[in-house]
Every structure is written in structure tokens, then in C-alpha cells.
Structure 1
Amino acid sequence: MPIADYPAGAALATDLVTTSPTVRGVDALPDPDALAGLLARHGIDAEPPTADDVFAVRLLRFDVRGIVETETVEQAVAGAGVLIGRAALGPVLRRDAEERWQWHVPTEPGAPLADRLAAVIGVALLGVVRSLGHDRFRACAAPGCRGVFVDASRAGRRRYCTPELCGNRVNVANHRRRQEATR
């Protein structure tokens, strides 16, 4: 993963955390097919996931949530460092598609899928802390939602863990409230 591509890793972290039954009411990672879909949505090339991969990634989901919920930047940095240490090797320079030199963090050959994802997410979380600040690790603003997310947007005004779900619920509730007020 290119180090400068922390927004993609932050999106992966957020999407992984929001698959939890804590957020959705049901586990959105019930099987290898669901995990394969998550990986595909984030452009992650991997062998077809197994049931063991699903179990390990579900455990990773708790670790990532714990980092996003940290109270201090030091806690977040330490947690991300632990994730990186699961499979990452030292940073290297590689040429990108435009032949520019970019920092990358490769992972150990043969490392388990969950450990490779941990390294990608750990680097991304450090990138967010360095570039945007720890205050970009947030709880969802939707009433009743227990989701958390990493806001790697330029403006930094994201409010919901899953805008298409939580944001829509809030918008529909606001619309209904306005309709009732005009009756």
C-alpha cells in the first residue's frame, strides 16, 4: 500500500468496523463471500477468503474499533503500530503508474489475510493522525447508532459511520418531523 494513500486505508478501516453487529444489528461479514466483497470494494487482491479468514478478520474488526475509539493520540498511534507489526516489513520506495517514487509498506510473504489487512489499516490510521489529526476518529452522530469511523475527507465534516444508512435515517426522520409540523 502506498503510504500517501491513507484515505483508502481509512475507508477500509471504517467499512470493516461498520460490518459489526454492534453497528448494523447483524454481522455483515457472515461468510467468505461477504469478506471477498469487502476486499473487492476496496481493491484488495487476495486469494478467495476462507472461514478461518472471516474469523480472523472479525477479530481484527474489534482491534480497529478499539483504536478508533481511543481517547488520546498516543493510544491511537500505539494501537496502529501494533497492527502494522502483525505483517508489515520496512517501508520501501517503488514507482507508481506515473513512474514517480512513492513510499510503500509491503507485508510478509504468506502472511495471513487478517494480518495483511491489519498492516494496511495501521499505516492508514497513522497517516490520518499525522496528516489530519486524531480528532478525525469519531463516533457516528446518528441517534442510537454505536458506529465509529475515520473521517479522511478533505473538509473533515463527515458525521455518520455509514452515510447511506445512518445519514438517510436522520434525513428521513427530519423530513417526517417537518411534515408533521406543517399539518
Structure 2
Amino acid sequence: MLFSHDTEHALGTVVDLVNTGPSVAGEDHLPDLTTLQEFVDHNEVSDVCDLDATDLEATLRLRDRFHELFQAPEDTEGTVRRVNAIVGEARTSPHLTDHDGYDWHVHFFAPGSRLAEHLAAECGIALAYVVAAGELDRLRVCEAPDCSRVLVDLSRNRCRRYCDSRTCGNRMHVAAYRARQRESAAR
């Protein structure tokens, strides 16, 4: 395991957040407070206050900022500036907790933080760990030609190319197989 459970969870949350955006999904999958609450529940974001319209607006702005990090992961200096800005603007208050059956771990968001601040702290710190580990090449955009979803490749050998092996990965493997079949039939 390269990163801790919390870091991997936060990285998954970043990916899920970015992949809700219209520039990735074709339409906005966080159009209202109901879908935002579903996102919070699905990603098991802990200690979230009641959501309101300002939470939605701030989270959508943060989503765009996180998306920028996946656009040019080879730009370490730019990524460092962006991550530092995101984390620097969030109220952070590192504290130990052992909620939901997990052993002691550190949360970085300040208690009582609004959702976007919570995500900026937790997900921003997770991305900072990726940078500090020299693992920015793990931040990727799906290689399927008709997909722009993002992913974090946490595989040991860094071989993950598609956002989902059951959809994009399977589709691309089937297309490659059919191309090989056509090529061998043409010989």
C-alpha cells in the first residue's frame, strides 16, 4: 500500500467530485443540494453540517480547481502552487479521530467546517501527499478516446489506463481484439 486508507479515500473523493463536472461527464451531476448530499453520503464524508446553497457553489468552484490538477500532472511546480493555494485557503485543524470503526487517524479539516472547506483540507492534503511522494504521474485522464473522466492510478505497477475496467477498459479491449481479428483475416 502506497498511501494510507484516509489518503486513498480522499483521492477517491477527489476523483468522484471531478467526474461530476460538465466538462468531464457532459452534464453537471451536482446540479442541486439533493445530488450534493448524495455525493457526501456516497463518499462517506464525515462531520458535514447541513448543506445549503453556499455549500453547493463553493464545492462546484473547488471541483473546477481540483480538475485543473489532472490536466497537467507533469507540471509539478504548477501543481504545488495549486495544491498549496487550495489547502492554504481552508481552515485546517489536524486532529486524531477513530470514528466509523477505523483505528486512529488524522483529519485535517477544522471541526464545523463547511463542505468545500472540509474537501479542500482533506483532499488537498491527500494530493499534497501524492506530490511529496513523487507520484504525480498517478493522476490521469482516462485513455479511452471518448472519455475525459479522471482517475488516480493506485495500482502497484502503475498500469491503470481507464477510469473503469468494466466500461472504458472493456470497450477498448474489445475494440483492440476486433482490430487484431480484422488484421489477421486480411492476411
TM-score after normalising by structure 2? 0.77
SS in 2 for 1:27: coil
User: Which of 130, 144, 149 lines up with 2:151 in the alignment?
Assistant: 149
Query: Structure 1 98/51 Cα, relative in aligned 2: closer, same or farther at 3 Å?
Result: closer
* Cα separation, 2, equivalents of 1:143 and 1:11: 22
Q: Which amino acid aligns with 2:23?
A: T
Unmatched tracts of structure 1, length 5 or more: none
**Larger RCO (alpha carbons 8 Å, 6+ apart):** 1
Q: Which amino acid aligns with 2:21?
A: S
Runs of 4+ in 1 over 6 A off after TM superposition: 178-182
Count of aligned positions: 179
Unmatched tracts of structure 2, length 5 or more: none
Q: CA RMSD in A?
A: 2.9
Q: Which amino acid aligns with 1:125?
A: L
Q: For residues 3-18 of structure 1, what are the structure 2 equivalents within 5 Å?
A: 4=4, 5-18=6-19
- Aligned partner of 1:77 in structure 2 is 80
Identical residues among aligned pairs (%): 35
* Cα separation, 2, equivalents of 1:157 and 1:6: 20
Q: Offset of 1:145 from its aligned partner?
A: 2.0
With 162-171 and 19-28 compared, the bigger mean Cα shift is at: 162-171
Q: Offset of 1:18 from its aligned partner?
A: 0.9
User: Which of 79, 87, 92 lines up with 1:89 in the alignment?
Assistant: 92
Residue by residue over 1:69-104, the C-alpha shift from the partner in whole angstroms, topping out at 9 and shown as x without a partner, is 23322222221122212324253455686765x4x2
Whether the 8 Å CA contact 2:138–2:152 is kept in 1: the answer is yes
Whether the 8 Å CA contact 2:140–2:152 is kept in 1: the answer is yes
Q: Which amino acid aligns with 1:30?
A: P
